[in-house]
Chain A
Amino acid sequence: GAGVSQSPSNKVTEKGKDVELRCDPISGHTALYWYRQSLGQGLEFLIYFQGNSAPDKSGLPSDRFSAERTGGSVSTLTIQRTQQEDSAVYLCASSGGQGRGYEQYFGPGTRLTVT
């Protein structure tokens, strides 16, 4: 079956512009995560969605970052007024939840470059 997909794979944007990053999780997975991976850094948790529950936004670095998940499936991460420090690889992952072993399945990521 299809894995987690993300688009675009690469995005170059000018400082101050808004960007939208898309994640399409594995069908049936109830949990969806966004992470940020900066050069030489580990994975920084941004936000997760679980079913119809309110998302955990505790990792979002500023109010310029927001995310939504429509219909319990596709998710969009939006960064407003991008800054150079937002340059990173943004990873999305989905998980089937407790009954399916908790493991996460990752997408290939979106490399964001802010010039």
Chain B
Amino acid sequence: AQSVTQPDIHITVSEGASLELRCNYSYGATPYLFWYVQSPGQGLQLLLKYFSGDTLVQGIKGFEAEFKRSQSSFNLRKPSVHWSDAAEYFCAVHTSGTYKYIFGTGTRLKVLA
């Protein structure tokens, strides 16, 4: 069965530091991949998505993610974190042929001033 793993439950970084959030998926074919962000008290907002083509995708708020087929990974990165990036981040997989999405359990990001 398809699955998504976000191995880091909590991550703390200092403002201005770089960030990488890990996401691994289990699926036979190339899935559609997403990163969503959920700020406190808010709904989920799409940061970026990968369907095909260039394996490095750019998103909103200065985020990017790289699809690595050999590692079944889709890690989210940001070169310099801002205090407003403190939130929970979810990786999701959408398998072709259905409308079903599978979400990871999320990584909660704390940013130190």
Give me the interface of A with B, judged by CB distance under 8 Å: 4, 31, 33, 35, 41-43, 45, 48, 50, 56, 91, 93, 95, 97, 101-109
Contacts of B102 in A (CB 8 A): 45
Contacts of A106 in B (CB 8 A): 36, 43-45
Interface size on B, residues (CB 8 A): 20
Q: Are A103 and B46 in contact (CB under 8 A)?
A: yes
Contacts of B36 in A (CB 8 A): 106
Q: Are A101 and B44 in contact (CB under 8 A)?
A: no
Tell me, in angstroms, the Cα distance from A91 to B105 when the chains sit together: 15
**From DSSP, what is the main secondary structure of chain A's interface residues?**
strand
Give me the interface of B with A, judged by CB distance under 8 Å: 32, 34, 36, 42-46, 49, 51, 90, 94, 99-106
Contacts of A50 in B (CB 8 A): 99
Q: Identify which of A41, A95, A101, A105 contacts B99 (C-beta below 8 A).
A: A95
- Most chain B CB inside 10 Å of its own CB: which residue of A33, A43, A101: A43
Q: Are B105 and A41 in contact (CB under 8 A)?
A: yes
